[in-house]
A and B are shown apart, each in its own frame.
Chain A
């Protein structure tokens, strides 16, 4: 069964450092997403991406965040200068079509710990 793959599974970084979280979406999918979940809290939408540009972003996704699809397979989330409050599970997702008529496949997540 196809799956979304995220690396690394766990990343520890110092406050102020840049991190890049990587995702390999399902190959024929066209829509890509990042979500995050702070420990004990809800899963929160960050950004959606289609046709090599951001379709929608949340208030959380400020100038410190960026996304990129550098080649035909990877989808990355960069945090330029991490803060303690960026510590969370980050989930990548992809879908073949829009959510409303399809399903989104989520990766297993990257646990980011900012110290």
Chain B
């Protein structure tokens, strides 16, 4: 399993950009990088995923380092609703017809009004 390292917590102000880093130095060449988040008292929620190129969607942007050993989730303008635990998850080919998500401790993002 690819090991990930994320800061335990980060703080941001509302309306400001947030850069959430993740190190995944043992990632394999075929592993995608997924980001999920978990709002308080809710189930995990998909944010974005990518392989090599930077990715954008309506929620966030994902910047992937050229060597793929790290990535950064970018929230362009944080809102109070973005306060959550953010998980960086390399996908794992477990050899079967399905894949599983292995959640770490993630980064607790606090957004100040």
How many residues of B sit at the interface, in one of the four size bands? 20 to 34
Residue in A50, A93, A100 whose Cβ sees the most chain B Cβ within 10 Å: A100
Hey, which chain A residues are within 8 Å of B99, CB to CB? Answer: 48, 98-100
Does A104 lie at the interface of the complex (its beta carbon under 8 Å from any beta carbon of B)? yes
Is there contact, CB below 8 Å, between B49 and A103?
yes
Output the least CB separation between B48 and chain A (Å).
9
A-B CB proximity, top 9 nearest: A106-B43, A103-B46, A55-B98, A43-B103, A48-B98, A99-B99, A100-B91, A45-B100, A91-B43
Given contacts A91-B43, A104-B46, 9 further A-B contacts (CB under 8 A): A42-B105, A43-B87, A45-B100, A99-B99, A100-B99, A101-B32, A103-B34, A106-B44, A108-B42
Could you say which of A49, A51, A101, A105 contacts B46, with CB atoms under 8 Å apart?
Answer: A105
* Complex-state Cα separation, A63 to B36, whole angstroms: 30
Output the least CB separation between B32 and chain A (Å).
5
Is there contact, CB below 8 Å, between A56 and B43?
no
Is there contact, CB below 8 Å, between A99 and B101?
yes
Output the least CB separation between A95 and chain B (Å).
9
Output the least CB separation between A8 and chain B (Å).
15
Output the least CB separation between B81 and chain A (Å).
16
Q: A42-B105, A45-B102 are in contact. Are A55 and B42 (CB under 8 A)?
A: no
Q: Which of A21-74 contact B (CB under 8 A)?
A: 31, 33, 35, 42-45, 48-51, 55-56, 58
User: A residues bordering B, Cβ < 8 Å?
Assistant: 4, 31, 33, 35, 42-45, 48-51, 55-56, 58, 91, 93, 98-101, 103-109
Is there contact, CB below 8 Å, between A107 and B96?
no
Q: Which of B55-113 contact A (CB under 8 A)?
A: 87, 91, 93-94, 96-105
Does B45 lie at the interface of the complex (its beta carbon under 8 Å from any beta carbon of A)? yes
Q: List 9 A–B pairs whose Cβ atoms lie within 8 Å, in order of A's numbering.
A: A35-B44, A42-B104, A42-B105, A50-B98, A56-B100, A99-B99, A100-B31, A100-B32, A106-B44
Could you say which of A35, A98, A103, A109 contacts B42, with CB atoms under 8 Å apart?
Answer: A109
Does B38 lie at the interface of the complex (its beta carbon under 8 Å from any beta carbon of A)? yes
Is there contact, CB below 8 Å, between B101 and A31?
no
